[in-house]
C-alpha cells in the first residue's frame, strides 16, 4: 500500500516525541490549555480576510475545541449537530459525511464538500471525518462562491486543523465505551532547531468499536503530523499530512414496512457481516506559505493534494418495485442485491491570495485578491448482482430464495450468502478542471457603514470517459461563470451591527444526460439579513455573541428524471428541478465569569420544491410545495456547561440537548421520519495535576430515533444510550 510507511511509523513517532517533550515547562502547558479552550469568534482566517465577526455581512458559527469537548464530539457529524442550520443527510451506509446547510445538500451521490483550512479539500471517498487533528469547525453560512468557488448556497463547513504553536507539551487520552469501544489519542508538539524556529506537532488516533447494530464493527487509524518553519520574521511555511484508514461495514440501516418504522428492531443489521467490509484510505498534503509584505499587506500561497480510495462489497436492501417483504407466520424475509465498488479520487488544489488595506481619500478599503486552480479526478467502477423482478403477489414457494439473497429481519441468519455472479454496472472516469479569479473589497464609507463588493470568475472543463462502451466514449464541456457578492454592514455601536448580503453561485454536476453530454451546472441566488450583538462589549461579566438572521435561497438546475421523448428508451436525468429554502436562525455563544458556558442554536427552515418534476431515483411525482428530503422545519441544539471546584479539585459538568423536527424520508412520497429529542450529559474531574477523568452518557433517556434516510428501505437509526469513560494526561 502506498501509505504503509505512515502506519509503521505512527507509534515510533509519538513515542519519540513523548520523550522529547518530557522537559516541557508547566507554564507552557497552561498557556496551551488556555489557547485551545476557546477560539475567539471572528479572528483572521485563511482565505477569508481579517475582519471582526460583527463586520462580516453573513452569519457564522465557530465550534471550538472547548465546545467540541463539552459535547463529547469525536466525529464531524457530532460536531455539526451543534449547528441547527445543518441537517444530516443520507450518509451512504455510514461511509461518508453528508449534510444540508439551510436546506441544500448538494449531490446525493457524493460526500458533502467541506473545506480544510480554506481549501476545497472534502471531496473524495475517504470515509467519515474524525475530529482528531481538528482544532475547530466553522459553519460559514450564506453564499461563499465569491471566495471559495463552486459550492452550496446555504454555506460551507471549514475544518481548521491543529498546527504547531511553538510550545512543548501535549496530551495522551484513552477512552472506553459502550459496545466495546476502545479509542487512543495523542497530541504532542515541540520546538526544533538551534533558533527554535521550527514547530512540530503530531496528532494520531486509533479506534476499534462495535455498535448498537448487531455484528457491526469499525476500525480506524489516523495520523496528522504538521510542521511550521519561521523562515523569517515575516514568513512562515507550514506543511500538514492527513492520513486515515478505516474499515467500516456498509450499513443501509432499517426498513419501514407499509410506511411504519419500528417493526424491524433498530439493532438488526441486514447486510453481510462476513463480506460487507469497506476499506477507505486518505492521504492528503497541504503546504501553506504566509508572507507579510508590510504592515498593511499579506501574501498567502497554498497547495493541497488529496488522494482517496474506497473498495469493498455490500449487500443492500432492494427498492420498492424490486422489493417485497415476504411475511408469513414464521418469518419476515427481505430480499437484497449485491454491489462491489472500487472508487479512487485525486484532488489537486493551488491557491494564492493577496490581502491588505489602503485608503482613497477619506475612504478605507480592505481588499482580497486571489486565484486558484483545482483538478478533481473521480474514477468509479461498480459491479452488481440484482435478483429478478417479482411482484407483491409472488408465491415464494416457487422461488429459489438463495438467489434473492434474503434475510429474516426478525431472526437474521448471518451465514455466508450464496455465490452470485456480478456484472458491470458502472465504469467511468470523470475529470473536472477549473481556474478561478476572485476579488473582494470591503469599504468603510463612514465609521458606521461598510459595504462589500465581491466577485469571482470561474472557467471549468469537464470530461467523462465511459469505459463500459467499446470503444470508450468521451464527452466533455467547458463553461465560464461569474459569481457576484454584495453586502453591507451598519455598526450601530461597539456592540450591535446590522447586515445584509446577496450572492450567486453554481456547482458542477456529476454525470451526463441521455445523449452523453455533461449536465449544465446547478445555479443559485441567496439573500440574507441579520443582526449581531457582541456580548463582550455589552456586559462586564459575559463574553460571546448573538446572531439573528433570516435568509431566502433559490436553486435551479436540480437533477430530476428525464421524461422527454428523446430519453424514453432508458433511465436518464436532466437538470430541470427547482427549489427554495427560507428561514430564520438564532445562535448564542456565551461564557459567563462564574464558569457557565451556553451554546444555543435554533433554526426554522422551510425548504421546498418550486416546480413539477419527477424524482431522479424512483420517478415519483414531485409537486411545487413538496418539502426537501431530510430537512427538518425546526431544529434546536443546546449545550450548557459549568466549571467549579469541589474540595479544591477542578470539576466541569454539563448537559446538551438536540431536537430535530419530523422530516420527509423519501422524495415524492408521504413517508416522514418522526421528530426526536436526545439528551447528553458529562462530568469531568481533575483528581491530580494535569490528569483529567471524564464520564459521559449520550441519549440519556435511551430514545429510539432515526437521523436520516434515502428511502423507506434505507433508514438510518440513531444510537441508543451510550456510556464512555476517558482519562487524559497533559504534560
Q: What 3-state class would DSSP assign to 595? A: coil
What is the per-residue pLDDT for 3? 41
What is the per-residue pLDDT for 46? 64
Average pLDDT over residues 491-500: 96
Average pLDDT over residues 694-720: 96
pLDDT bin (cut points 50, 70, 90) of residue 417 is: confident
DSSP label at residue 669: S
Residue 98 makes CB contacts below 8 A (sequence gap 6+) with: 88, 89, 90, 91, 92, 105, 108, 111, 112, 708
663 close to 632: Cβ distance less than 8 angstroms: yes
Average pLDDT over residues 679-683: 98
| Of 666 and 47, the one with more pLDDT | 666
What is the per-residue pLDDT for 323? 58
Residue 462 pLDDT exceeds 50: yes
pLDDT bin (cut points 50, 70, 90) of residue 29 is: very low
Positive or negative, the CA dihedral 139, 144, 149, 151 is: positive
DSSP-assigned states of every residue in 408-467: ESSS---SPPPP---EEEEEEEEEEEEEEEEEEEEEESSSSEEEEEEEEEEEEEEEEEET
Residue 526 makes CB contacts below 8 A (sequence gap 6+) with: 142, 143, 153, 154, 501, 502, 503, 504, 505, 551, 552, 553, 554
Average pLDDT over residues 289-314: 95
State the chain's mean pLDDT as an integer: 89
| Of 731 and 277, the one with more pLDDT | 731
What is the per-residue pLDDT for 23? 34
Residue 613 pLDDT exceeds 50: yes
What is the per-residue pLDDT for 324? 59
Residue 256 pLDDT exceeds 50: yes
Q: What is the pTM of this model?
A: 0.91
Establish how many alpha carbons lie within 13 A of residue 57's alpha carbon, considering only the half-sphere containing its beta carbon. 27
Lowest mean pLDDT among 5-9, 122-126, 560-564: 5-9
Candidates 353, 494, 346; CA nearest to 429 is: 346
DSSP-assigned states of every residue in 464-514: EEETTSSSPEEEEEEEEEEEEEEEEEEE-SSSEEEEEEEEEEEEPPPSB-T
Residue corresponding to grid cell 453560512: 141
Cross-strand bridge partners of residue 498: 490, 531
Average pLDDT over residues 385-414: 80
Positive or negative, the CA dihedral 553, 522, 60, 186 is: positive
705 close to 720: Cβ distance less than 8 angstroms: no
CA–CA separation, 502 and 602 (whole Å): 22
Residue-wise burial string across 510-535, b where 16 or more C-beta atoms lie within 10 A, e elsewhere: bebbbeeebbbbbbbbbbbbbbbbbb
248 close to 276: Cβ distance less than 8 angstroms: no
Residue-wise burial string across 422-452, b where 16 or more C-beta atoms lie within 10 A, e elsewhere: eeebebbbbbbbbbbebbbebbbeeeeebeb
Lowest mean pLDDT among 30-34, 268-272, 667-671, 702-706: 30-34
Average pLDDT over residues 264-290: 93
Candidates 404, 370, 407; CA nearest to 386 is: 404
Q: What Cα–Cα distance (Å) separates residue 25 from each residue in 162, 187, 192, 226?
A: 20, 16, 16, 22
Phi, psi (rounded to 5 degrees) for 71: -80, -10
Average pLDDT over residues 486-495: 96
Residue 34 pLDDT exceeds 50: no
Which three cell numbers, joined as nine digits, stand for 699?
Answer: 441519549
pLDDT bin (cut points 50, 70, 90) of residue 31 is: very low
pLDDT bin (cut points 50, 70, 90) of residue 32 is: very low
CA–CA separation, 559 and 580 (whole Å): 15
Provide the residue ranges of all domains of the chain, joining segments of one domain with +.
4-730
Establish how many alpha carbons lie within 13 A of residue 498's alpha carbon, considering only the half-sphere containing its beta carbon. 4
Residue 506 pLDDT exceeds 70: yes
Average pLDDT over residues 441-467: 94
**Where is 184: in which H helix or E strand?**
strand 181-192
Rounded to an integer, what is the distance from CA 189 to the centroid of its chain? 27
Where are the strands (E) in 539-633, listed by range? 542-561, 573-592, 596-609, 613-614, 621-622
Q: What is the CA radius of gyration of the chain?
A: 26
Q: What is the pLDDT of residues 117-158, one digit of tens each?
A: 988 777 789 899 999 999 999 999 987 766 777 678 899 999
Alpha-carbon torsion angle 665, 667, 670, 676, nearest 10: 20
CA–CA separation, 452 and 226 (whole Å): 35
CA–CA separation, 609 and 606 (whole Å): 10
Candidates 453, 460, 457; CA nearest to 482 is: 457
What is the per-residue pLDDT for 33? 39
What is the per-residue pLDDT for 11? 40
What is the per-residue pLDDT for 1? 41
Q: What 3-state class would DSSP assign to 265? A: coil
% pLDDT > 90, the chain: 72
Candidates 464, 280, 313; CA nearest to 379 is: 464
Q: CATH assignment of 4-730, given 2.40.170.20, 1.20.1090.10, 3.40.1280.10, 3.40.50.720?
A: 2.40.170.20
Amino acid at each position: 500500500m502506498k501509505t504503509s510507511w505512515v502506519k509503521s511509523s505512527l507509534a515510533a513517532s509519538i513515542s519519540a516525541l513523548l520523550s522529547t517533550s518530557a522537559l516541557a515547562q508547566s507554564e507552557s502547558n497552561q498557556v496551551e490549555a488556555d489557547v485551545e479552550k476557546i477560539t475567539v469568534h471572528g479572528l483572521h482566517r485563511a482565505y477569508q480576510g481579517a475582519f471582526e465577526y460583527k463586520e462580516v455581512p453573513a452569519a457564522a458559527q465557530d465550534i471550538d475545541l472547548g465546545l467540541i469537548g463539552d459535547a463529547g464530539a469525536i466525529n464531524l457529524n457530532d460536531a455539526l449537530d451543534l449547528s441547527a442550520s445543518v441537517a444530516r443527510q443520507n450518509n451512504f451506509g455510514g461511509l461518508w459525511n453528508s449534510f444540508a446547510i439551510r436546506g441544500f445538500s448538494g449531490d446525493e451521490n457524493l460526500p458533502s464538500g467541506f473545506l480544510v483550512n480554506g481549501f476545497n479539500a472534502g471531496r473524495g471517498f475517504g470515509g467519515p471525518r474524525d475530529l482528531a487533528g481538528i482544532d475547530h469547525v466553522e459553519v460559514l453560512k450564506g453564499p461563499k462562491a465569491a471566495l471559495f468557488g463552486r459550492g452550496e448556497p446555504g454555506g460551507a463547513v471549514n475544518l481548521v486543523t491543529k498546527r504547531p504553536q511553538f510550545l512543548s507539551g501535549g496530551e495522551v487520552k484513552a477512552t472506553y465505551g459502550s459496545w466495546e469501544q476502545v479509542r487512543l489519542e495523542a497530541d504532542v508538539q515541540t520546538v526544533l532547531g538551534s533558533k527554535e524556529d521550527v514547530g512540530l506537532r503530531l496528532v494520531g488516533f486509533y479506534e476499534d468499536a462495535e455498535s448498537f447494530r448487531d455484528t457491526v464493527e469499525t476500525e480506524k487509524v489516523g495520523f496528522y503530523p504538521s510542521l511550521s518553519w519561521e523562515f523569517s520574521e515575516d514568513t512562515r511555511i507550514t506543511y500538514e499530512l492527513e492520513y486515515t484508514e478505516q474499515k467500516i461495514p456498509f450499513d443501509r440501516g432499517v426498513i419501514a414496512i407499509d410506511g411504519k418504522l419500528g417493526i424491524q428492531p433498530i439493532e438488526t443489521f441486514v447486510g453481510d457481516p462476513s463480506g460487507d467490509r469497506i476499506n477507505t484510505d486518505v492521504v492528503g498534503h497541504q503546504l501553506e506559505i504566509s508572507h507579510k509584505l508590510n504592515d498593511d499587506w499579506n501574501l498567502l500561497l497554498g497547495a493541497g493534494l488529496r488522494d482517496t480510495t474506497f473498495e469493498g462489497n455490500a449487500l443492500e436492501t432492494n427498492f420498492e418495485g424490486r422489493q417485497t417483504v415476504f411475511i408469513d407466520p414464521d418469518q419476515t424475509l427481505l430480499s437484497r442485491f449485491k454491489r462491489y465498488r472500487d472508487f479512487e479520487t485525486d484532488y489537486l488544489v493551488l491557491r494564492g491570495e493577496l490581502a491588505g488595506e489602503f485608503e482613497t481619500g477619506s475612504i478605507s478599503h480592505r481588499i482580497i485578491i486571489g486565484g486558484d486552480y483545482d483538478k478533481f479526478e473521480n474514477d468509479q467502477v461498480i459491479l452488481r448482482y440484482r435478483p429478478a423482478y417479482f411482484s407483491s403477489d409472488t408465491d415464494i414457494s416457487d422461488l429459489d430464495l438463495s438467489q434473492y439473497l434474503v434475510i429474516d429481519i426478525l431472526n437474521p441468519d448471518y451465514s455466508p450468502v450464496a455465490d452470485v455472479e456480478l456484472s458491470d454496472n458502472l465504469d467511468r472516469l470523470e475529470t473536472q478542471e477549473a481556474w478561478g479569479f476572485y476579488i473582494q473589497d470591503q469599504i468603510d464609507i463612514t465609521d458606521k457603514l461598510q459595504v462589500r463588493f465581491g466577485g469571482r470568475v470561474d472557467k471549468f472543463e469537464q470530461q467523462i470517459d465511459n469505459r463500459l462502451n467499446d470503444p470508450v466514449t468521451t464527452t466533455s464541456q467547458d463553461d465560464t461563470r461569474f459569481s457576484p457578492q454584495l453586502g453591507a454592514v451598519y455598526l450601530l455601536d461597539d456592540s450591535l451591527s446590522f447586515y445584509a448580503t446577496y450572492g450567486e453561485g453554481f456547482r458542477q454536476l456529476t454525470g451526463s444526460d441521455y445523449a452523453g453530454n455533461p449536465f449544465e451546472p446547478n445555479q443559485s441566488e441567496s439573500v440574507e439579513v441579520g443582526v449581531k450583538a457582541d456580548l463582550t462589549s455589552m456586559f462586564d461579566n459575559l463574553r460571546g455573541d448573538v446572531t439573528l438572521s433570516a435568509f431566502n435561497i433559490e436553486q435551479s438546475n436540480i437533477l430530476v428524471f428525464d421524461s422527454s421523448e428523446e430519453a424514453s428508451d432508458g433511465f436518464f436525468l436532466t437538470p430541470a428541478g427547482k427549489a427554495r429554502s427560507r428561514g430564520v436562525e438564532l445562535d448564542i455563544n456565551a461564557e459567563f465569569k462564574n464558569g457557565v458556558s451556553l451554546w444555543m442554536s435554533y433554526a426554522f427552515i422551510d425548504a421546498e420544491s418550486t416546480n413539477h418534476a419527477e424524482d431522479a431515483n424512483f420517478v415519483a411525482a414531485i409537486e411545487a410545495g413538496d418539502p426537501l428530503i431530510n430537512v427538518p422545519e425546526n431544529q434546536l441544539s443546546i449545550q450548557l456547561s459549568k466549571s467549579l471546584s469541589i474540595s479544591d479539585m477542578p470539576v466541569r459538568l454539563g448537559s446538551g440537548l438536540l431536537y430535530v423536527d419530523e422530516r420527509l424520508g423519501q422524495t415524492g412520497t408521504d413517508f416522514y421520519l418522526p421528530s426526536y429529542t436526545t439528551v447528553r450529559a458529562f462530568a469531568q474531574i481533575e483528581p491530580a495535576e494535569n490528569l483529567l477523568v471524564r464520564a459521559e452518557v449520550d441519549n440519556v433517556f435511551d430514545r429510539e430515533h432515526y437521523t436520516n434516510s434515502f428511502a423507506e428501505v434505507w433508514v438510518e437509526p440513531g444510537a441508543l444510550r451510550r456510556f464512555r469513560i476517558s482519562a487524559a494526561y497533559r504534560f
